[in-house]
Structure formats: C-alpha cells, structure tokens
C-alpha cells in the first residue's frame, strides 16, 4: 500500500481514486473493526454518518461490509453533521464513530474521519497502528460472528436537541432575521430547524443537495451568495457552514465576511469575563492572525498555537484542560458542548451575544484589528517535494530574512490536498506581497522541473 493513507483529518482524496476507493474503504473498515473490536468486552458497535456527496453511498456500503466482516454491528445515521458523529458515538455506547465526508472540498472528493469511543478524533499514533494493520493483514470474524447493520432514524433529532441545549435557557431569537447557508451539505435540515425552533426568522440557502452541488459556490468557502442574501433581505446576520457543518463563517448586517479569528476573540474575552475560560487561554493554529494574539495578550489571555487541523487543536485543549479553541477557517471547538468543531453551535453562541448585548453583528465582529495577511496556494504532483529543492529553500530563507522583526512567514503542505500553502503576515502591504510572490514563484518553478 506504500505510504500512509491518513492525512491531517483522516483519509481524503478524489472518489474512486487511491486512496478513496471502495476497496480501500472496505479494507479500512475491516482493519478498524479489528482494532477496536479487540478492545471491547461487550457487543461491538460503530456509528456511521455521512454528508450529501453522491459517492457517500458507495463508501457507506463499503465501510459497512468491512466492519461487519470484522464482527462489528453498524448503526447508519445517514446525512448528519460531523459533530453529530462525535456526539452520538459515546451516547450510543459505540466503540467507533465514522464520518464519510470531505468537509469543504467539492463533490468529487470524499473522506473518512474516524472517532474513538470517547467521541474524539483518533490520534496520529492510533492511525499509525491502524495503518500497520492494513499493511500486515487482519482477521475476519467467523461466520456466526458477522455483524449486523441497521438504520437509525432519530440520529438527526438527537443532534438537533443537543444543539438547542447549548443556547442559553430562556433566551429566544424572536425578531432576529438569520440567513443560513448550509452549503447543500450535511446540516441542510438540522441548521434551519434549530434556528426556527429557537424563534428566528430563517432565510435558508444551500439546502437542496443533489449529491453533486455540495460546497458549490456556497457555504463557508464561498460566502458571497449568503452576503448578497443578507443585504437583499435586510437580515441581521448570515451564518455559513461547510459541507459537514464543522466550521462557520459569519456575515454581518452589511454583508461583510468575518473569519473564525474574530469569533474566537469575541468568545474568549466574553468567557474570560465570566470566569469560564479554562486556563485563561485560547488554542488555535499557526494560521491565526497575529492581531488576534496581540489582542488576547492585552486582555490577559494567552494564545496556544498548534499545527493546522482541528484535531490538533482538540488534542492540545485536552492536554492543557482548555475549553475553547479553533481555527481561522471557522472550526470553533467548545469542549463544554462538543468533541470537535461545530459550526451550528458556534453560530448559536454568536446569536446569543447579539441578544445579550443588543449590539449588531458588525460591532461584535470587529473585536481586533488584523495584521495584513496573504495566503497563496501552489498545486504540486504527489511523489515530489518542491520544499526540499535548494532553490525553494533559498527563496524561503530570503523571505524570512526580509520579514525578520516585521512579520512572519508560514509555509506548509496541505494535509487534505496536494497543495503548498504560502502565508505571510506583515504591516507593510508591499513587503507582504513581495515575499509571498517570491516564494510562490520559486515553488511554481520547482514544480515545473
């Protein structure tokens, strides 16, 4: 099988191309069934959720075949947000949770995210052990121990009730007009329903999935349509989810888009004021804006940075006992409520702040002044590493020297796509574009060799 099939968030790739094939999914199901089944003294159980991609049916069936062949009973949730799987895995006393989704990617891609019995995503170490099972082989259950599979009809209802329970008791959203963009993804039913039940006037978009339109010019990656809808309908706020609803981008009443950094700043300072911010710290990644760090430090709140990926944020939160973290991209992790990023629950917390303060979204989303930041991506061929080429290393070294004492440079490979991400922050817009463009040019030239 060669190199590990696992990336920064489970397995991901183009559907029907390695590693996202039905054959790999079947073998992975059998391998994780072996891994978790041997650790369970009771009936072996796994829950599987998925988003709305056309290929989800194929992977759901392949995983089910592999899992049942290893003796696991499979509970099929159908289309539900990723955080619902994190919630329902321990709630249903399952040994394993699986979400079939490629998150914010287009429909051609798909992915497999794995959760342990505690509802948290698996660590690198556990994924490495599962990879080893895939390499060396695993056992199939005897014929009288093959597992069963059944549909669970109320999984979505359970998640809806949990989401509503995170909204302050006794508070209502009466008089608040909310545009909710569900990206034609997993929350297309849950999110509008929760908002409506809490009293909001709901204007839903991206709620007509057809298997191929998930994240297609909608949702958190493409918030322009939602922003226009906010203006047209004179809405108070727009909430944009991604395909599996684990991230959120917010739009104010003027159609201005705010990323996860602004929401994390708002929640961190609010929770700190209520003495409920564990460790007086926020956990985020190396991608979060330097302006966020400066603002929090001025408030007496520390910022803990991790590698990119919400599961690394969660791991640090668990290690340090912190209860708030997330990513600039919109993953907001509130461990008092959920085991992973939850776009809907984060949106509810923001709406609660509108009600509590009486302030419009535009004021609540301007917590700090961000340092100018520029991010560009360069696609490369798998099997090649342009970052190891001498010319690229030289360009990076020169860029770092130019930014010394003036900003910072971050270059990394995407864990979900064959992309080199080049990001810099600097108060000088001219210098910012110069260093990013120089590195991008060097990487592009290296990829062409």
On whether the CB atoms of residues 20 and 13 are closer than 8 A, the answer is yes
On whether the CB atoms of residues 68 and 149 are closer than 8 A, the answer is yes
On whether the CB atoms of residues 195 and 173 are closer than 8 A, the answer is yes
Give me the torsion for CA of 355, 361, 367, 368, rounded to 10°.
170
Nearest residue to 268 (alpha-carbon basis) of 228, 239, 297: 297
Give dist(CA 113, CA 243) in Å, integer. 14
Give dist(CA 43, CA 320) in Å, integer. 33
For residue 31, count other CB atoms closer than 10 A to its CB: 23
DSSP alpha helix (H) spans, 274-367 = 290-298, 310-320, 343-357, 361-364
On whether the CB atoms of residues 321 and 279 are closer than 8 A, the answer is yes
Give dist(CA 197, CA 149) in Å, integer. 32
From 55, 69, 103, 338, the catalytic residue: 103
Rg (CA), the chain: 22
Report the side by side order of strands in the sheet with 149-151: 11-14, 109-115, 96-100, 45-50, 73-79, 149-151
- List of residues 6+ apart from 143 with CB closer than 8 A: none
Give dist(CA 384, CA 67) in Å, integer. 34
Nearest residue to 396 (alpha-carbon basis) of 444, 447, 436, 345: 436
DSSP 8-state symbol, 280: G
Burial 251-289 (b: 16+ CB within 10 A, else e): bbbebebbbbbbbbbbbbbbbbeeeebeeebbbbbebbb
User: Is 414 known to be catalytic?
Assistant: no
The CA distances from residue 435 to 158, 393, 399, in Å, are 49, 13, 5
Positions annotated as catalytic residues are 103
């Amino acid at each position: 099988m060669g190199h590990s099939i696992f990336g920064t968030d489970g397995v991901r790739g183009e559907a029907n191309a390695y590693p996202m094939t039905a054959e790999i999914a079947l073998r992975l199901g059998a391998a994780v069934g072996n891994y978790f089944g041997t650790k369970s003294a009771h009936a072996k159980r796994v829950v599987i959720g998925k988003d709305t991609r056309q290929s989800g049916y194929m992977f759901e069936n392949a995983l089910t075949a592999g899992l049942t062949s290893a003796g696991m009973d499979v509970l099929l949730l159908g289309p539900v947000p990723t955080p619902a799987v994190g919630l329902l895995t321990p709630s249903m006393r399952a040994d394993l949770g699986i979400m079939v989704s490629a998150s914010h990617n287009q429909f051609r891609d798909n992915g497999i995210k794995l959760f342990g019995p505690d509802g948290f995503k698996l660590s690198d170490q556990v994924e490495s052990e599962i990879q080893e099972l895939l390499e060396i082989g695993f056992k199939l259950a005897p014929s009288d121990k093959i597992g069963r599979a059944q549909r669970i009809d109320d999984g979505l209802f359970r998640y809806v009730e949990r989401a509503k329970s995170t909204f302050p008791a006794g508070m209502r959203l009466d008089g608040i007009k909310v545009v909710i963009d569900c990206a034609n993804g997993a929350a297309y039913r849950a999110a509008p329903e929760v908002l409506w039940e809490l009293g909001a006037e709901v204007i839903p978009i991206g709620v007509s999935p057809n298997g191929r339109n998930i994240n297609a010019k909608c949702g958190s990656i493409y918030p322009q349509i939602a922003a226009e809808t906010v203006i047209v309908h004179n809405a108070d706020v727009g909430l944009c989810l991604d395909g599996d609803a684990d991230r959120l981008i917010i739009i104010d009443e003027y159609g201005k888009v705010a990323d996860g950094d602004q929401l994390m700043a708002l929640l961190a300072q609010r929770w700190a004021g209520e003495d409920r911010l564990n460790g007086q710290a926020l956990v985020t990644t190396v991608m979060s804006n330097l302006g966020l760090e400066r603002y929090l430090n001025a408030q007496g709140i520390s910022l803990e940075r991790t590698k990119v990926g919400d599961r690394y944020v969660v791991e640090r939160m668990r290690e340090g006992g912190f209860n708030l973290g997330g990513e600039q991209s919109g993953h907001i992790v509130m461990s008092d409520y959920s085991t992973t990023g939850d776009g809907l629950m984060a949106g509810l917390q923001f709406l609660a702040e509108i009600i509590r303060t009486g302030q419009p979204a535009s004021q609540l989303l301007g917590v700090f002044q961000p340092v100018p930041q520029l991010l560009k991506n360069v696609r490369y061929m798998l099997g090649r590493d342009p970052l190891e080429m001498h010319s690229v290393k030289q360009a990076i070294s020169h860029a770092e020297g130019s930014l010394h004492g003036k900003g910072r440079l971050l270059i990394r490979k995407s864990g979900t796509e064959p992309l080199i991400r080049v990001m810099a922050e600097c108060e000088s817009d001219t210098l910012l574009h110069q260093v990013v463009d120089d590195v991008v040019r060097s990487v592009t030239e290296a990829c062409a060799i």
